Amino acid sequence: MSDHTSKKIRVASIIASQTAGGIGPVCRYAAEGIAKRTGWDVTLLSLHDPVADFIDEASGLRIVGLGLEGNCACLFLRWLAENPQDVIITSDVSRIEPAFCFLPPITRHLMQIHDSGRRYRDVAVRHAAWVDGVTCVGQHIESSLRKSLDQVGFNGILRAVHNGANFPPPIQRQPHDGPLRLLFMGRVEAFKGVFDCVPLLQKLEQLGVPATLNIVGGKNEALRRQFQRKGLEKKVIWTGRVSHAECYEIAAASDIFLMASRKEPFGMVTIEAMSMGCVPIAYDIPSGSTEIIEHGKSGLLVPLGDIRAWAEHIRDLHRDRKRLAELSSQAIQRARTTFNEENMSSNLVGLINDVMLHAHDHPAQRQEGMPEEEPATYRPSPRGYQRLPEGLRLWIRTQMHSNPRLAHWLLNR
């Protein structure tokens, strides 16, 4: 079988919604890139977004929303019967999992795993017999998943493909010799490590390092109270939620990006900050951060939970602004050359071709028929922890996730 890049094959990327966390935007980046760089018919299909069907003129990507609320697996299969595809790529679409074994034999199924948690990896293991290929956003996920897939006799292709972004034009950064401008950007929750900013600002104050902290992405009253109790509130800027374009502008006006997450499968926000010259510092744990950041060249890595080491790195960069500028320049280079949308889509095109070639001789299993229909009203039954009141669940999560080592173990097991 020859290379498929010159053939008019049909590819559909299946997502829950274009607004579903970071998965929706990054899948759109990838689908647009594939559409622009091949002669393929490429569709981005969102299961739960409002009904829509149009062609994006800039990329040639077909955008479809099915507006599904119930009976998702059956209705998806009906759409697929009316819109035959050579390849589908599924990304965290639990509502249509019952359809996986009933896909048409002509359709190759590539499953994309965006998270390192066991429940996300287990999706690929449960459906290994029906899947032709699995791709992960990080090599640390691939290594964990490979062992599990080998145990169930997975016969397809497994490969890591890093995410990428379509960055805005770079901005000429101006020399800055004032207080260091620290940036936390993302979900303002304990598992993202935002509570580590309190002892970090305290330690910087002890070391005599002038710094401000801009928190972008939301509010957190428990965190605000901690800053107030420690007398740090004047150092903190609460920007809240802003547009994607504004995130890039804020990163361009910041010096150091704090990636304190206990679990980061890839880290779109990291490459976005780096692309604007904001130097990342992250924990040295198996994660997307350690695959993105070259320690001492395009950013810095510190031991998990070691606030003192983090503060000392920041102190050294405060004292040596030339070194800070060098790291900034290398961060821009690293993000824009390695983790751009073109590389991501090109790697996915190569993987799709390999999956189609491999599946020609080693096709995944399929069954005839249709899955059972969902109840008219779909409501997953709450279990265990989910039965607790929301306020108590939030308190438990905050307590557990504020401890770097405990949170890392819980979130990555």
Tens of pLDDT along 185-216?
A: 999 988 899 999 999 999 999 999 999 999 99
16 and 119: one domain?
Answer: yes
Task: Compute the average pLDDT of residues 14-31.
Answer: 88
Asked if residue 322 belongs to a domain, the reply is yes
Q: Which residue has the higher pLDDT, 390 or 105?
A: 105
Domain count, the chain: 2
Query: In which domain, by residue range, is 288 found?
Result: 180-338
Spatial neighbors of 78 by CB under 8 A, at least 6 apart, are none
Q: What is the CA radius of gyration of the chain?
A: 23
- Residue 320: pLDDT over 50: yes
Q: Among residues 278, 304, 338, which one ends one of the domains?
A: 338
Q: Rounded to an integer, what is the distance from CA 275 to the centroid of its chain?
A: 16
Q: Are both 323 and 194 inside the same structural domain?
A: yes
321-338 and 307-319 helices, crossing angle to 10°:
110
Domain stop point among 290, 306, 338? 338
pLDDT in tens, 227-282: 999 999 999 999 999 998 999 999 999 999 999 998 889 999 999 999 999 999 99
276/217 same-domain check: yes
In a domain, 303, yes or no: yes
DSSP 208-219: T--EEEEEES--
Q: With bands split at pLDDT 50, 70 and 90, how would you rate the model's confidence at 4?
A: very low
Task: State the pLDDT at residue 410.
Answer: 67
Residues 6 or more apart in contact with residue 149 via CB below 8 angstroms: 124, 125, 128, 134, 158
CA separation, residue 141 to residues 58, 121, 181 (Å): 33, 8, 33
Considering 115-119, 289-293, 381-385, the range whose residues carry the highest mean pLDDT is 289-293
Beta bridge partners of residue 136, listed in sequence order: 113, 160
Judge whether 45 and 13 are in contact, CB under 8 Å.
Answer: yes
Sign of the alpha-carbon torsion through 27, 33, 35, 37: negative
State whether 263 and 318 are in the same domain: yes
Rounded Cα gap, residues 223 and 201, in angstroms:
13
Is 205 within a domain? yes
- Least confident residue range of 6-15, 262-271, 394-403: 394-403
What rounded mean pLDDT belongs to the chain?
Answer: 91
Per-residue pLDDT tens over the stretch 76-131: 999 999 999 999 999 999 999 999 999 999 999 999 999 888 888 999 999 999 99
Is residue 275 situated within a structural domain?
yes
Domain identity same for 248 and 330? yes
* 387 lies in some domain: no
Report the predicted TM-score, pTM, of the whole model to 2 decimal places.
0.86
pLDDT band at residue 5, thresholds of 50, 70 and 90?
Answer: very low
Say yes or no to pLDDT of 2 above 50: no
State the Cα–Cα distance between residues 156 and 153, nearest whole angstrom.
9
| CA distance to 44, 57, 246, 311, per residue, from 17 (Å) | 10, 21, 22, 39
Residue 12 pLDDT: 98
In this predicted structure, what is the pLDDT of residue 140?
93
The CATH number covering residue 263 comes to 3.40.50.2000
In a domain, 368, yes or no: no
Task: Say if 392 falls within a structural domain.
Answer: no
Instruction: Say whether both 88 and 217 belong to one domain.
Output: no
Query: Are 222 and 346 part of one and the same domain?
Result: no
Predicted confidence at residue 259, as pLDDT, reads 97
Residues 141 and 193 in one domain: no
pLDDT above 80 for 385: no
On whether the CB atoms of residues 366 and 102 are closer than 8 A, the answer is yes
- Do both 22 and 162 map to the same domain? yes
- Domain assignment present for residue 405? The answer is no
> Predicted confidence band at 327 (pLDDT cuts at 50, 70, 90)?
very high
In this structure, the answer to whether residues 149 and 198 fall within a common structural domain is: no
pLDDT band for position 358 (cuts 50, 70, 90): very high
**Do 160 and 203 fall within a single domain?**
no
Whether residues 306 and 243 share a domain: the answer is yes
pLDDT score recorded for residue 153: 95
Phi, psi of 337 (to 5 degrees): -100, -30
